[in-house]
Amino acid sequence: WPQGAYLDLGLDVPGLLHVSKLDPAKAIKSAEDELAVGDDLKVWLVRYDKPQVEVWRFPPAATHGQQLTGKVTDVTDGVYLDLGLDRRGVLPKRQMKRPGEKDKLSVGDEVTVWVTDVRQTEVEVRSWKGDFDVGFETQGTVASLNKKGAFVKLPGKVKGYLPCSQMAVERVEKPVDKVQIGEEVTVKVIGMDRKAIGRPYEIEKGEGQKSFKIICLALA
């Protein structure tokens, strides 16, 4: 496919590698000139959003959940930051910790922020640290199983999903071969399936709450 390639990452959704993310040093017109079916590639996971996972062939400017310090450069139409990266930072109103936070910021202010999204020309950040950002490790209890993995109860009434493909290095056909209901497991957040905009994890449903699913990796 000239515009990119789909990869088998061993997850429940394919990986999408766009042609613009093959090599930062040169402009590649067609992915078919660089890749072939069956090639093994080392890639970096940038965003986990169904129906696919966005991956790059080189490290992104920043990663989801990464803590950065930046200086405010503009507050006229949103809040923009100099994060010391190759693209500007943007702090949307919905990612601010408190109402009216924008009105308290001035050009030149130094702020601590956390990355929520890496885009072509900017990095979206928020002013609060997420409880379950990518890379977060925690203990959980296996709550239920389905054909493709296990649902894990995490601290704070949060649910994670541990697919068979992330349970072990070797191929796992059935989740029951590796975990049992009630078993305690150590897991690491590797992505999220966003069904709404907001905090990147699934909260047990209640009035006014939004639903997300953490994708976990089992740690030995």
Asked if residue 122 and residue 83 are part of one domain, the reply reads yes
From residue 1, alpha-carbon distances to 34, 40, 51 in Å are: 11, 17, 18
Q: Is the pLDDT of residue 200 over 50?
A: no
198 occurs within a structural domain: yes
Question: Which pLDDT does position 201 carry in this prediction?
Answer: 39
When computed from its CA atoms, the radius of gyration of the chain, rounded to whole angstroms, is 19
62 occurs within a structural domain: no
Query: What are the beta bridge partners of residue 185?
Result: 140
| Residue-wise pLDDT tens digits, 81-124 | 999 998 899 998 878 876 677 788 999 999 999 888 877 788 98
pTM of the entire structure?
Answer: 0.56
How high does pLDDT run on average in the chain? 81
Q: Is the pLDDT of residue 165 over 90?
A: no
Number of domains in the chain: 3
Give the domain CATH number at 190: 2.40.50.140
Q: Is the pLDDT of residue 212 over 70?
A: no
Q: Is the pLDDT of residue 183 over 90?
A: yes
Per-residue pLDDT band at 145 (split at 50, 70, 90): very high
